Amino acid sequence: MKVIIDSAIPYIQGILEPFAEVLYRSGGDFTPSDVRSADVLIIRTRTRCDEALLAGSNVKLIATATIGFDHINLAYCAAHGIEVVTAAGCNAAGVLQWVAATLALLSAEEGWQPHERTLGIVGVGNVGSLVEQYARAWGFRVLRCDPPRKEREGGDFLPLEEVAAQADIITFHTPLDSTTHHLIDDSLIALMPSTGTIINASRGEVASTKALCKATQRLCIDVWEREPNIDLALLDKAFIATPHIAGYSAQGKANASSIVVRAIAQHFALPLTEWYPEAVKPTLRQPIGWQEMCRSIATHCDLAAQTRILKEHYVDFEALRNNYHYREEYF
């Protein structure tokens, strides 16, 4: 068996070598010649798995150590018998803590308390549900928008336009597909309070860069169109700007590596179906009060410092992302 692994995926080095020939490549350097004889690809978002890469290959399984799958042509994979596994939910707590750090900075800058603000959550899956849980406990009025869940479950999910009109802060946690591409556009922004805040920690293409550059709202952005060649006007405008690291916690990365290794173990009957990195201690979810969170969060997730670094060293976007020191989850 031959496995090609994105070299930026942590904790996985040496784990599959006893069972397979393993090659490591930078995410953008997977080539058709490398892939042709591979059985498994372990990737991140930087590797586009489509016909151009996969045609004529022996690939049987693609395991992406990410929650999203917009970099994989699922139709092509299905038509050619290639199983696709994602690490859905792996970094939910990491993104929660990035959002919490964002809310703490906004509160300090603008002088409000949670009971004085309405938080809109667009996309209430693994990440959005966790944000909702903690936001309600902190005292925010929470509005939810999730059309697929509304269709399946009913409930109090609202149309996007209503959430945009009512929310002081709106945070996006949607996958990227044809229904969410440029979900944040001129027309949606026009519905929002002009002094509100837009948070995007989903995918860059969920928002129109052109529309964001014209917006009067505060912008808190972790994901960008055309990464790593991000728009400098948008970078300059953003209140918070980070290099696609919202989910970059030690536990989130360990979860992702564990999920993909276990998927491979199950597919190929390897004795790794319970594997988890020994170097990382799993997080025990626990409540934390608003004031305690605001006092402690910068020690773990200092977004003000990370924003300064990205604005000063934007040409190093990819290096800042790949070399980011994974923070520890603590709630």
298: which 2 tokens? 């910068």
Active site residues: 203, 227, 244
Opening angle at CA 209, ends 217 and 160, nearest 5? 60
Opening angle at CA 221, ends 202 and 294, nearest 5? 100
Tell me, what DSSP letter sits at residue 50? S
Whether 1 contacts 19, CB under 8 Å: yes
Q: In what order do the strands lie in the sheet with 2-6?
A: 21-25, 2-6, 40-43, 61-64, 83-85
61: which 2 tokens? 């399984």
Q: For residues 254 and 155, what is the distance between their CA atoms, to the nearest angstrom? A: 34
**Residue ranges in the chain assigned as alpha helix (H):** 32-35, 51-54, 74-79, 92-110, 126-138, 147-153, 160-166, 186-191, 209-214, 232-237, 250-268, 290-300, 303-312, 317-322
